[in-house]
Amino acid sequence: MKRVLSGIQPSGNLHIGNYLGALKNWVRIQYDYESIFCIVDLHAITTYQDPAELRRKIEETAALFLAAGIDPKHSAIMVQSAVHGHAELAWMLTCVTPVGWLERMTQYKAKAAAQETIGDGLLQYAVLMAADILIYQAAIVPVGEDQSQHLELTRDVAQRFNSLYGETFVVPETELPSVGARIMGLDDPEKKMSKSVPGSGHAIGLLDEPALARKKIMRATTDSQPAIDFDKIGPGVANLLNIFQAFGGWTDQQMQAHFAGMRYGDLKKQVADMVISGLGPLQKRYNEIVSEPGYLASVLAQGAQRVTPIANSTVELVKRRMGLYTES
Ligand code: ATP
Ligand code: MG
């Protein structure tokens, strides 16, 4: 069975972009593969995180994976830093990755521009991500569109390693959702919705109360047209329609027939209703999961236990390939 790997950083409040671009698809495809889903805390610390808050967000993120429908009986849910091989393999891959490849990464450039001083980890981010994927010999990586470039880099690193040291890694494929691969900020539809972007009107959190979600949608940036014209659609309206379509699973034809000519105020009301009804069951399950003492910890412990032997065997293989010291 092919393996799937994907992860989310516990770097803030998970939002509907994380859900529509990543989580929702993990849930859909999990049973078709051997699936591993990771809370990537080592990635989160590439920008400063308050320690107590980070610890809390790791658990919240794990609970949201479960609430969204990841089945821990089938899929491993684990915290990246609990499996030591990720960081170890990242070093070995760093040594075969040209710095120029990393400096070209859009996410690096954007996040570096937002910081006064940049930790080296921000540059190394993409190598650590390659390690997360390659350590499990994952064939499929379901992510949002913003991660395509990192996936290309992962493929390049795997191929470079394979050509230098002999066939070692599976070269993974990127899987993007057909709708919802890039949800934009409600306050600025030119920028992707992100956990780490401040501003109360930017993102809809998966745990936002219905009234708050509605308020944010009603205030979303649109344009100066009064109503929807599919021939000249602005980015804000396109984003709202995209959110509706991704939650509702409607076809393009259904969307056009229903929304053509609709006034923006009515569009927003319908998007709010759709988002609120989409998040309701998830929020209910979230509350159940966090009120069950010990459950989350046991899921994470089992997840780490299940994947550690796979990670260790790849690290051993890489060590042998590179000529590093191994006991056997
Ligand atoms: P940060 O601002 O801390 O980078 P983020 O919102 O970008 O947070 P990540 O943890 O970096 O979230 O990404 C987790 C997953 O969510 C990835 O698969 C990513 O492609 C996807 N994703 C992130 N933002 C969006 C978005 N706006 N639309 C669709 N998918 C997204
Ligand atoms: Mg991100």
The CA 26 to ligand 1 mean position distance, Å, reads: 14
Looking at residue 163, its pLDDT comes to 98
- Write down the pTM of the prediction: 0.98
Tokens of 55: 């610890």
User: Mean of the pLDDT values across residues 39-66?
Assistant: 98
Locate the ligand 1 atom nearest the alpha carbon of residue 194 and give its number: 6
Q: What is the band of 246 on the pLDDT scale with cuts at 50, 70, 90?
A: very high
Looking at residue 115, its pLDDT comes to 87
Ligand 1 pocket check for 21: Cβ under 6 Å: yes
Ligand 1 pocket mutation pick from 6, 8, 40, 108 by most atoms within 8 angstroms of CB: 8
Looking at residue 327, its pLDDT comes to 86
Looking at residue 294, its pLDDT comes to 96
Catalytic residue among 2, 73, 109, 192: 192
Looking at residue 94, its pLDDT comes to 98
The CA 107 to ligand 2 mean position distance, Å, reads: 8
CB 20 within 8 A of CB 246: yes
Q: What is the band of 22 on the pLDDT scale with cuts at 50, 70, 90?
A: very high
CB under 8 Å to 87, separation ≥6 — which residues?
42, 81, 128, 131
User: Mean of the pLDDT values across residues 215-238?
Assistant: 97
pLDDT at 328 over 90: no
Ligand 1 atom 19, closest CA: 144
Location of structure tokens 């190598």: 127
The CA 60 to ligand 1 mean position distance, Å, reads: 16
Question: CA neighbours within 13 Å on the CB side: how many for 299?
Answer: 29
| Distance in angstroms (rounded) separating the CA atoms of residues 183 and 172 | 24
Calculate ∠ Cα 5-177-79, nearest 5°.
Answer: 25
User: Mean of the pLDDT values across residues 70-91?
Assistant: 98
| Per-residue 3-state assignment (H helix, E strand, C coil) for 8-27 | ECCCCCCEHHHHHHHHHHHH
Q: What is the band of 210 on the pLDDT scale with cuts at 50, 70, 90?
A: very high
CA-based nearest residue to 40, from 155, 131, 101, 123: 131
CB under 8 Å to 83, separation ≥6 — which residues?
304, 307, 308, 311
DSSP string, 309-325: HHHHHHHHHHHHHHT--
Ligand 1 atom 5, closest CA: 194
Q: What is the band of 323 on the pLDDT scale with cuts at 50, 70, 90?
A: very high
Percent of the chain with pLDDT over 70: 100
Looking at residue 82, its pLDDT comes to 98
What is the pLDDT of the chain when averaged over all its residues?
97
CB 286 within 8 A of CB 207: yes
Looking at residue 281, its pLDDT comes to 98
Looking at residue 224, its pLDDT comes to 94
User: Mean of the pLDDT values across residues 63-87?
Assistant: 98
